Amino acid sequence: MKLKRIGVDWAKQVFQLHGVDSHEQAVCRKQLKRSQMLDFFRRLEPCTVAMEACGSAHYWARELRTLGHEVRLIAPQFVKPYVKSGKNDANDAEAICEAASRPSMRYVEVKSAGQQASQALHRIRSRLIRARTALVNEIRGLLGEFGLVEARHGVAATRRLTQTALDAQNGLPGQMRELLAELSGELDEHDARLSRLDDMIQRQAREDERVGRLLHGPITATALVSAVGDARQFSSARQFAAWLGLVPRQHSSGGKERLGAINTRGDSYLRTLLIHGARAVLRHCQDKADRRSQWLRQRVCRRNPNIATVALANKNARIVWAILSRGEGYWPG
Protein backbone atom coordinates (compact mmCIF):
# COMPACT_ATOMS: atom_id res chain seq x y z
CA MET A 1 0.00 0.00 0.00
CA LYS A 2 1.38 3.41 -1.03
CA LEU A 3 0.41 6.17 1.38
CA LYS A 4 1.55 9.78 1.48
CA ARG A 5 0.56 10.47 5.06
CA ILE A 6 -1.11 8.57 7.84
CA GLY A 7 -2.64 9.84 11.07
CA VAL A 8 -2.62 7.63 14.14
CA ASP A 9 -4.86 8.02 17.18
CA TRP A 10 -3.22 6.25 20.11
CA ALA A 11 -4.77 4.32 22.96
CA LYS A 12 -3.45 1.68 25.33
CA GLN A 13 -4.56 -1.36 23.35
CA VAL A 14 -6.49 -0.17 20.25
CA PHE A 15 -5.11 2.23 17.59
CA GLN A 16 -7.05 3.97 14.82
CA LEU A 17 -5.35 4.80 11.50
CA HIS A 18 -6.36 7.21 8.76
CA GLY A 19 -4.18 7.32 5.62
CA VAL A 20 -4.31 9.43 2.44
CA ASP A 21 -2.60 9.02 -0.93
CA SER A 22 -0.78 11.60 -3.05
CA HIS A 23 -4.16 13.06 -4.14
CA GLU A 24 -5.22 13.58 -0.50
CA GLN A 25 -7.89 10.91 -0.86
CA ALA A 26 -8.58 8.67 2.12
CA VAL A 27 -7.49 5.15 1.18
CA CYS A 28 -6.84 3.59 4.59
CA ARG A 29 -9.18 3.51 7.57
CA LYS A 30 -8.09 0.78 9.90
CA GLN A 31 -8.20 -0.20 13.54
CA LEU A 32 -5.29 -2.20 14.90
CA LYS A 33 -4.42 -3.83 18.18
CA ARG A 34 -1.21 -2.98 19.95
CA SER A 35 0.46 -6.22 18.91
CA GLN A 36 -0.30 -5.53 15.23
CA MET A 37 1.15 -2.03 15.01
CA LEU A 38 4.80 -2.70 14.23
CA ASP A 39 3.99 -5.50 11.77
CA PHE A 40 1.65 -3.18 9.85
CA PHE A 41 4.17 -0.34 9.59
CA ARG A 42 6.98 -2.75 8.80
CA ARG A 43 5.10 -3.85 5.65
CA LEU A 44 4.17 -0.26 4.76
CA GLU A 45 6.37 1.80 2.45
CA PRO A 46 8.05 4.74 4.22
CA CYS A 47 5.66 7.67 4.59
CA THR A 48 4.82 10.51 6.96
CA VAL A 49 3.21 9.35 10.19
CA ALA A 50 1.46 11.99 12.32
CA MET A 51 0.26 11.50 15.87
CA GLU A 52 -0.63 13.51 18.94
CA ALA A 53 2.14 14.22 21.44
CA CYS A 54 0.52 12.30 24.28
CA GLY A 55 1.44 9.38 26.50
CA SER A 56 3.83 6.85 24.86
CA ALA A 57 3.97 8.93 21.65
CA HIS A 58 7.74 9.42 21.89
CA TYR A 59 8.28 5.67 22.26
CA TRP A 60 6.20 4.89 19.18
CA ALA A 61 7.88 7.70 17.26
CA ARG A 62 11.31 6.17 17.93
CA GLU A 63 10.07 2.73 16.91
CA LEU A 64 8.53 3.98 13.66
CA ARG A 65 11.63 5.98 12.79
CA THR A 66 13.71 2.83 12.96
CA LEU A 67 11.38 1.41 10.29
CA GLY A 68 12.14 4.34 7.97
CA HIS A 69 9.03 6.45 8.48
CA GLU A 70 9.03 10.22 9.01
CA VAL A 71 7.25 10.86 12.31
CA ARG A 72 5.61 14.14 13.28
CA LEU A 73 4.19 14.81 16.73
CA ILE A 74 1.47 17.45 17.06
CA ALA A 75 0.28 19.05 20.29
CA PRO A 76 -3.34 18.00 21.01
CA GLN A 77 -4.60 21.61 21.11
CA PHE A 78 -3.48 22.08 17.50
CA VAL A 79 -5.42 18.97 16.39
CA LYS A 80 -8.73 19.90 18.01
CA PRO A 81 -9.80 22.51 15.37
CA TYR A 82 -9.64 19.85 12.65
CA VAL A 83 -12.13 17.45 14.28
CA LYS A 84 -15.16 17.67 11.98
CA SER A 85 -17.90 16.18 14.13
CA GLY A 86 -18.36 14.15 17.31
CA LYS A 87 -15.34 12.75 19.07
CA ASN A 88 -14.40 9.17 18.27
CA ASP A 89 -11.19 7.41 17.31
CA ALA A 90 -11.83 7.54 13.56
CA ASN A 91 -12.57 11.28 13.57
CA ASP A 92 -9.53 11.94 15.76
CA ALA A 93 -7.23 10.02 13.41
CA GLU A 94 -8.63 11.92 10.42
CA ALA A 95 -8.12 15.24 12.23
CA ILE A 96 -4.50 14.33 13.02
CA CYS A 97 -3.88 13.45 9.39
CA GLU A 98 -5.47 16.72 8.24
CA ALA A 99 -3.53 18.83 10.76
CA ALA A 100 -0.24 17.35 9.54
CA SER A 101 -1.00 18.57 6.00
CA ARG A 102 -0.91 22.23 7.05
CA PRO A 103 2.37 23.89 5.98
CA SER A 104 2.43 26.16 9.04
CA MET A 105 1.76 23.42 11.59
CA ARG A 106 4.08 23.28 14.60
CA TYR A 107 5.53 19.96 15.67
CA VAL A 108 6.93 18.54 18.87
CA GLU A 109 10.50 17.24 18.77
CA VAL A 110 10.78 13.51 19.41
CA LYS A 111 12.60 12.84 22.67
CA SER A 112 15.26 10.20 23.08
CA ALA A 113 15.02 7.49 25.72
CA GLY A 114 17.73 9.28 27.71
CA GLN A 115 15.76 12.52 27.72
CA GLN A 116 12.66 10.74 28.96
CA ALA A 117 14.63 9.03 31.71
CA SER A 118 16.02 12.38 32.83
CA GLN A 119 12.55 13.91 32.84
CA ALA A 120 11.29 10.98 34.90
CA LEU A 121 14.04 11.71 37.43
CA HIS A 122 12.91 15.32 37.76
CA ARG A 123 9.25 14.36 38.05
CA ILE A 124 9.96 11.87 40.82
CA ARG A 125 12.06 14.47 42.65
CA SER A 126 9.30 17.06 42.31
CA ARG A 127 6.74 14.61 43.69
CA LEU A 128 8.98 13.81 46.67
CA ILE A 129 9.42 17.50 47.43
CA ARG A 130 5.65 17.98 47.42
CA ALA A 131 5.24 14.98 49.70
CA ARG A 132 7.92 16.27 52.08
CA THR A 133 6.28 19.69 52.19
CA ALA A 134 2.94 18.09 53.04
CA LEU A 135 4.62 16.04 55.79
CA VAL A 136 6.33 19.12 57.25
CA ASN A 137 3.02 21.00 57.32
CA GLU A 138 1.34 18.04 59.01
CA ILE A 139 4.01 17.88 61.73
CA ARG A 140 3.81 21.62 62.39
CA GLY A 141 0.01 21.50 62.50
CA LEU A 142 -0.10 18.59 64.91
CA LEU A 143 2.46 20.14 67.26
CA GLY A 144 0.66 23.47 67.10
CA GLU A 145 -2.37 21.78 68.68
CA PHE A 146 -0.19 21.11 71.74
CA GLY A 147 1.15 24.66 71.91
CA LEU A 148 4.51 23.84 70.29
CA VAL A 149 5.24 26.32 67.51
CA GLU A 150 8.29 27.51 65.59
CA ALA A 151 8.51 30.99 64.11
CA ARG A 152 10.72 29.90 61.25
CA HIS A 153 9.47 27.73 58.42
CA GLY A 154 11.24 25.06 56.42
CA VAL A 155 12.44 21.52 56.82
CA ALA A 156 15.37 22.34 59.13
CA ALA A 157 13.19 24.41 61.48
CA THR A 158 10.56 21.66 61.58
CA ARG A 159 13.23 19.07 62.38
CA ARG A 160 14.49 21.20 65.27
CA LEU A 161 10.93 21.64 66.52
CA THR A 162 10.32 17.90 66.34
CA GLN A 163 13.52 17.08 68.24
CA THR A 164 12.68 19.67 70.89
CA ALA A 165 9.20 18.22 71.29
CA LEU A 166 10.61 14.71 71.71
CA ASP A 167 13.35 15.68 74.18
CA ALA A 168 11.64 18.24 76.41
CA GLN A 169 9.22 17.61 79.25
CA ASN A 170 6.30 19.37 77.62
CA GLY A 171 3.34 17.23 78.61
CA LEU A 172 3.01 15.42 75.26
CA PRO A 173 1.06 12.14 75.65
CA GLY A 174 3.04 8.96 75.08
CA GLN A 175 1.01 8.05 72.03
CA MET A 176 1.73 11.44 70.46
CA ARG A 177 5.44 10.97 71.11
CA GLU A 178 5.35 7.63 69.30
CA LEU A 179 3.54 9.17 66.36
CA LEU A 180 5.96 12.09 66.28
CA ALA A 181 8.96 9.75 66.26
CA GLU A 182 7.40 7.86 63.34
CA LEU A 183 6.80 11.10 61.42
CA SER A 184 10.38 12.17 62.11
CA GLY A 185 11.64 8.89 60.66
CA GLU A 186 9.43 9.37 57.61
CA LEU A 187 10.91 12.85 57.13
CA ASP A 188 14.42 11.37 57.28
CA GLU A 189 13.45 8.83 54.61
CA HIS A 190 12.25 11.63 52.32
CA ASP A 191 15.53 13.49 52.80
CA ALA A 192 17.55 10.34 52.07
CA ARG A 193 15.62 9.65 48.86
CA LEU A 194 15.97 13.26 47.73
CA SER A 195 19.69 13.10 48.42
CA ARG A 196 20.04 10.02 46.20
CA LEU A 197 18.10 11.72 43.39
CA ASP A 198 20.26 14.85 43.72
CA ASP A 199 23.36 12.66 43.39
CA MET A 200 21.93 11.21 40.16
CA ILE A 201 21.31 14.72 38.83
CA GLN A 202 24.85 15.75 39.74
CA ARG A 203 26.23 12.70 37.92
CA GLN A 204 24.20 13.54 34.82
CA ALA A 205 25.42 17.15 34.97
CA ARG A 206 29.05 15.97 34.99
CA GLU A 207 28.52 13.57 32.08
CA ASP A 208 26.59 15.91 29.72
CA GLU A 209 28.71 18.69 28.23
CA ARG A 210 25.57 20.69 27.30
CA VAL A 211 24.74 21.03 30.99
CA GLY A 212 28.25 22.29 31.68
CA ARG A 213 27.93 24.97 29.01
CA LEU A 214 24.72 26.35 30.49
CA LEU A 215 26.42 27.39 33.75
CA HIS A 216 23.09 27.11 35.57
CA GLY A 217 22.56 25.05 38.69
CA PRO A 218 22.55 21.32 37.90
CA ILE A 219 18.81 20.93 38.56
CA THR A 220 17.73 23.70 36.17
CA ALA A 221 20.34 22.82 33.55
CA THR A 222 19.56 19.10 33.44
CA ALA A 223 15.82 19.83 33.35
CA LEU A 224 16.27 22.16 30.37
CA VAL A 225 18.48 19.74 28.45
CA SER A 226 16.15 16.80 29.09
CA ALA A 227 13.16 18.83 27.87
CA VAL A 228 14.54 20.52 24.73
CA GLY A 229 17.78 18.70 23.84
CA ASP A 230 19.76 21.02 21.56
CA ALA A 231 16.77 23.46 21.25
CA ARG A 232 17.13 23.60 17.46
CA GLN A 233 13.43 22.84 17.02
CA PHE A 234 12.86 26.49 17.98
CA SER A 235 13.61 28.96 15.19
CA SER A 236 14.43 31.85 17.52
CA ALA A 237 15.13 32.71 21.13
CA ARG A 238 11.76 34.43 21.43
CA GLN A 239 9.96 31.31 20.26
CA PHE A 240 11.73 29.33 22.97
CA ALA A 241 10.79 31.90 25.62
CA ALA A 242 7.19 31.84 24.35
CA TRP A 243 7.14 28.04 24.59
CA LEU A 244 8.18 28.38 28.22
CA GLY A 245 5.35 30.86 28.85
CA LEU A 246 7.65 33.79 29.68
CA VAL A 247 6.33 36.32 27.16
CA PRO A 248 3.29 38.62 27.62
CA ARG A 249 -0.15 37.49 26.55
CA GLN A 250 -1.35 39.63 23.65
CA HIS A 251 -4.81 41.01 22.92
CA SER A 252 -3.97 43.33 20.03
CA SER A 253 -6.20 44.58 17.24
CA GLY A 254 -6.45 47.50 14.84
CA GLY A 255 -2.79 48.37 15.17
CA LYS A 256 -3.05 48.85 18.93
CA GLU A 257 -0.97 46.48 21.02
CA ARG A 258 -2.24 45.32 24.39
CA LEU A 259 0.17 43.23 26.43
CA GLY A 260 -0.87 41.46 29.60
CA ALA A 261 0.68 39.02 32.05
CA ILE A 262 2.83 36.08 30.95
CA ASN A 263 0.86 33.49 29.02
CA THR A 264 1.99 30.53 31.22
CA ARG A 265 2.23 28.14 28.27
CA GLY A 266 4.58 25.22 28.02
CA ASP A 267 6.31 23.36 30.84
CA SER A 268 5.39 24.89 34.21
CA TYR A 269 8.25 23.03 35.93
CA LEU A 270 10.90 24.65 33.72
CA ARG A 271 9.26 28.04 34.06
CA THR A 272 9.23 27.68 37.85
CA LEU A 273 12.93 26.82 37.95
CA LEU A 274 13.89 29.77 35.77
CA ILE A 275 11.78 32.23 37.74
CA HIS A 276 13.08 30.98 41.09
CA GLY A 277 16.63 31.30 39.79
CA ALA A 278 15.94 34.84 38.59
CA ARG A 279 14.42 35.72 41.97
CA ALA A 280 17.63 34.58 43.71
CA VAL A 281 19.71 36.79 41.38
CA LEU A 282 17.42 39.75 42.05
CA ARG A 283 17.94 39.35 45.78
CA HIS A 284 21.72 39.81 45.43
CA CYS A 285 22.00 42.34 42.59
CA GLN A 286 22.02 45.51 44.72
CA ASP A 287 25.74 45.38 45.56
CA LYS A 288 26.98 44.40 42.10
CA ALA A 289 28.17 46.67 39.31
CA ASP A 290 28.05 44.39 36.23
CA ARG A 291 25.84 45.27 33.28
CA ARG A 292 23.19 42.66 34.05
CA SER A 293 22.81 43.80 37.66
CA GLN A 294 22.51 47.42 36.52
CA TRP A 295 19.88 46.42 33.95
CA LEU A 296 17.99 44.48 36.60
CA ARG A 297 18.02 47.38 39.08
CA GLN A 298 16.62 49.67 36.39
CA ARG A 299 13.76 47.24 35.79
CA VAL A 300 12.99 47.13 39.50
CA CYS A 301 12.86 50.94 39.65
CA ARG A 302 10.64 51.23 36.59
CA ARG A 303 8.17 48.43 37.39
CA ASN A 304 8.13 46.05 40.37
CA PRO A 305 10.28 43.12 41.56
CA ASN A 306 7.95 40.43 40.16
CA ILE A 307 8.00 41.90 36.65
CA ALA A 308 11.77 42.31 36.85
CA THR A 309 12.08 38.67 37.92
CA VAL A 310 10.09 37.42 34.93
CA ALA A 311 12.06 39.74 32.62
CA LEU A 312 15.32 38.22 33.84
CA ALA A 313 13.92 34.70 33.46
CA ASN A 314 12.96 35.59 29.88
CA LYS A 315 16.48 36.89 29.20
CA ASN A 316 18.03 33.76 30.70
CA ALA A 317 15.78 31.55 28.55
CA ARG A 318 16.96 33.33 25.41
CA ILE A 319 20.59 32.87 26.46
CA VAL A 320 19.90 29.16 27.06
CA TRP A 321 18.51 28.85 23.53
CA ALA A 322 21.60 30.50 22.05
CA ILE A 323 23.98 28.28 24.01
CA LEU A 324 22.20 25.02 23.17
CA SER A 325 21.29 25.71 19.54
CA ARG A 326 24.69 27.13 18.54
CA GLY A 327 26.83 24.76 20.55
CA GLU A 328 28.71 27.61 22.19
CA GLY A 329 29.58 28.64 25.71
CA TYR A 330 28.37 31.69 27.57
CA TRP A 331 30.40 34.86 27.06
CA PRO A 332 29.36 37.71 29.38
CA GLY A 333 29.00 41.08 27.65
Residue pLDDT, tens place only, 239-281 = 999 999 998 888 888 888 887 788 777 889 999 999 999 999 8
Backbone dihedral region of 68: left (phi > 0), alpha (psi from -120 to 50 degrees) or beta? left
Task: Tell me the CB-side half-sphere exposure of residue 101, using CA atoms within 13 A.
Answer: 19
Phi, psi of 28 (to 5 degrees): -145, 115
Residue pLDDT, tens place only, 108-163 = 999 999 999 999 999 999 999 999 999 999 999 999 988 888 888 889 999 998 98
Given this model, what pLDDT does residue 299 score? 87
CA distance to 58, 119, 121, 242, 303, per residue, from 114 (Å): 12, 9, 11, 25, 41
For the residues 206-216, what does the mean pLDDT come to?
85
Confidence of residue 328 (pLDDT cuts 50, 70, 90): confident
- Four-point Cα dihedral 206, 212, 218, 223, nearest 10: -110
CA nearest to 161, candidates 192, 146, 175: 146
> By the 8 A CB rule, do 246 and 314 touch?
yes
R_g of the chain, CA atoms, integer Å:
26
Distance CA 113, CA 226 (A): 10
Q: What is the pTM of this model?
A: 0.87
